[in-house]
Chains A and B, each alone.
Chain A
Amino acid sequence: MAAIDQETSQSSVAQTSPRRAQLPAWIENTHPAFWLLALFLLFLPAFANDFFQFQIMGWTFILGMIALSLMFLAGYGGMVSLVQMTVAGCAGYMVAIFGTSAADAISLQWPWWIVVPVALAIATAFGTISGALAVRTEGIYTIMITLAIAAAFFYFTRQNYVIFNGFSGFNQIRAPVVFGIKWNDATPFYYLTLFFAVLSYAVVTYVSRAPFGLALQGIRDNPRRMEALGFNVTAHRIAAYAFAALIAAVAGILLTWQNGQISPGTAGIGAVIDILVIAVVGGLRRPIGPFIGAFIYVLLRTFALDILTEVGLDPKRFKLLIGFGFLAIVFFSPDGVLGLWDRWRARQKARSISSASGDSS
């Protein structure tokens, strides 16, 4: 009896042990630094002030998400699309047009739970259609065509006063009050952006390992072979655009809430290029890259003026600083900051191996 008991308990242990090993597998596989970062971000409002939460971190997450959508297309799909900022701008405009803003004559004042899905749907459709146009071409042509689409959107919103309210755009757009929480306050907004940033990061990571993402990476590496294997290359590419557009659209709505306004300049050519700079500086290989790039960009953007005046340089030369920094990164490390990090790690490893082999000999 006891022996049987022991046996069953053993077998039950044997049965559960793989499940137990499975459950922490994904926890085990992630670097401890990752968990430290997660804890840090989760408890950041406890010690950071409102400005840091709202302006620095909120903006970082939003720009990171837009750059992440570019990174998804460029890194996994091999399609560098400059239209992502425009998709975000489109979503922002839709929030302003269907929701409430200072321009009473245009805004339809619908409640937020209709406005947000409608804005997401329209912006995603816009991104998908742009993608459908762009996938007719390859490589460098994609960059040019998406840049042209972005420019057309910018000039159109600047000239159209009936729907897009022309040069001035829309003001006083606020995040709604839901569950009694004012989402435009610093800490709620911080958690809102953190939630969506983590969500989009997780979804992109998941999709990149799912069959769709693997097929997309196959298409990136060899479209003809994938076509021969029976994959519909064009449909995969357009679907990738649609997925990326959804992420960018979410970020666009958040961006509009954060700024409280949207105008043609929000999705202007400079902003479009900035997103590319962020994604490239961070690194196009892994989804964490865009967030690193966004953090660096936001820090530079916020504090460069002070630093430049402190050093004694003309604070107007801020763009020059960004331009040279970008050039240096692209010239010396095509994979961005992440590439630098990887190379440093590889060198450390090589050194430790060589020193170990030196010991043994």
Chain B
Amino acid sequence: MQRFIERHPVWSLVILIAAVFLLWLILAEWPRGLVAFAGRKKVFLNALLNGITLGGLYFLVASGFTLIFGLMRNVNLAHGSLYLFGGYIGYTVATASNSWILSFIVAFIAMAVLGMLLQVLVFRRMEGEELRQTLVTIGISIVLADILLWIWGGDFYQIETPDWLFGAIKLPIITAVKSSGDAVYMKYPLVRLVILAASIVIGVAMWLALNKTKIGMMIRAGVDDRDMLSATGIRIQLVFVLVFAFGAGLAGVAGVVGGTFQSLAPGEDTRFLLASLVVVIVGGMGSIPGAALGALLIGLSEQFGSVYMPTYAVVLTFLIMVLVLAFRPQGLLGSRG
């Protein structure tokens, strides 16, 4: 932090001013001119919160993708299928057992097992052959998409929010003041906030596990030099399988999350695959903080785009990607030699 301010004094100032302005936008009562220009404050706040929570969901999907890519250089273009598969399994479990929590556990385990199978049966056979991996995983995603369509059909599914998370809560943020002088507080669905909190916890835990534990040390060493790590006697294939299982399991969990606050349908797999591609391109391949930053940026741009310029929301996302590629090809927080 200190170093960043010393090295980039101008940028630090810009970021500080932007943060203060954002805080003012959130907390203050909007003057009339601003309302006339940018619409009601409630719309803005909704877009902001939706963007952040959507970013949380994107982070869950993309972090597994970036973890797998970062460690093993495995390009898993079937990641979106894992997301959708996990979501469908979660839906089936949730409707059968009426337990939201159980659906997470089952989806995680099922996708982790599938991920292990992928690593053992597919990726281990073609280590270092990126193009073949890409092609094979594209083939797998075509097959999986059709099998999912076969089993669950083309309907939209939504996983029901459990009772204890149902409804909205009042946030201590004033959206408007009535003519009578009463303040109107912002209301927001509780389940989204819980999911956001959970994804932040998962993100922080992943970062801690990677940076502070022994297994994290092994994984990071494996990213840098795989052969040297295996020469020191660590069973790197086991580490690979575990990381792949964890990343795939995260995709399954994200599927349940996505099924709860959006919906599950054929086509969502490609949507989330693309979202995670853009997120990791923007954030930087193989970097967990990068995935978090990228997910936040893309989530916000999608939501603000769809509120303030509906036709060009996709282009906005794309524009961010182009700008990042033009000025920092390795991604915002990526470090690639």
Contacts and interface: CB of A to CB of B under 8 A. Distances in A.
B134 A140 contact: yes
B311 A323 contact: no
B26 to A, nearest CB: 29
Interface string A132-173: 010011011101110111011001100111100000000000
A156 B129 CA distance: 33
A136 B150 contact: no
A276 B138 contact: yes
B36 interface: no
Interface in B310-337: 310-315, 317-318, 321-322, 325-326, 329
A327 B139 contact: yes
Interface string B268-301: 0010001001100100010000000000000000
Nearest to A330: B135
Given A140-B75, A148-B281, A133 B132 contact: no
Given A317-B150, A323-B143, A136 B326 contact: yes
Contacts of A140: 75, 130-131, 134
A319 B325 contact: no
Given A140-B134, A145-B325, A156-B314, A323 B139 contact: yes
B134 A160 contact: no
B135 A280 contact: yes
B311 to A, nearest CB: 5
Given A139-B130, A140-B75, A141-B281, A152 B311 contact: no
B242 interface: no
A303 interface: no
Interface string B119-137: 0000000000111101110
B140 interface: yes
B142 interface: yes
A331 interface: yes
**Chain B, interface size: which category?**
35 or more
B82 interface: no
A315 interface: no
B142 A273 contact: yes
A253 interface: no
Contacts of B326: 133, 136
A155 B134 contact: no
A147 B136 CA distance: 16
Interface size on A, as a range, is 35 or more
B310 A159 contact: yes
Interface string A5-35: 0000000000000000000000000000000
Contacts of A151: 270, 274
B198 interface: no
A334 B132 CA distance: 7
B277 A319 contact: no
Nearest to A321: B146
B5 interface: no
Given A140-B134, A159-B314, A319-B146, A326 B325 contact: no
B147 interface: yes
A43 interface: no
A80 B134 contact: yes
B135 A320 contact: no
A5 B238 CA distance: 87
Contacts of A143: 75, 134
A140 B325 CA distance: 15
A47 interface: no
B325 A137 contact: yes
B274 A133 contact: no
B145 interface: yes
Contact of A320 (B143, B312, B325): B143
B146 A323 contact: yes
A334 to B, nearest CB: 6
Ranked nearest first, the 10 interchain pairs of A and B with the lowest CB-CB distance are A323-B142, A323-B143, A327-B139, A152-B318, A155-B314, A319-B146, A320-B146, A326-B139, A140-B130, A330-B135
Given A145-B321, A317-B150, A324-B139, 20 more contacts: A80-B134, A133-B326, A136-B326, A144-B277, A144-B281, A145-B281, A148-B277, A148-B321, A156-B314, A156-B318, A159-B310, A159-B312, A273-B138, A277-B138, A280-B135, A319-B145, A319-B146, A327-B140, A327-B143, A330-B139
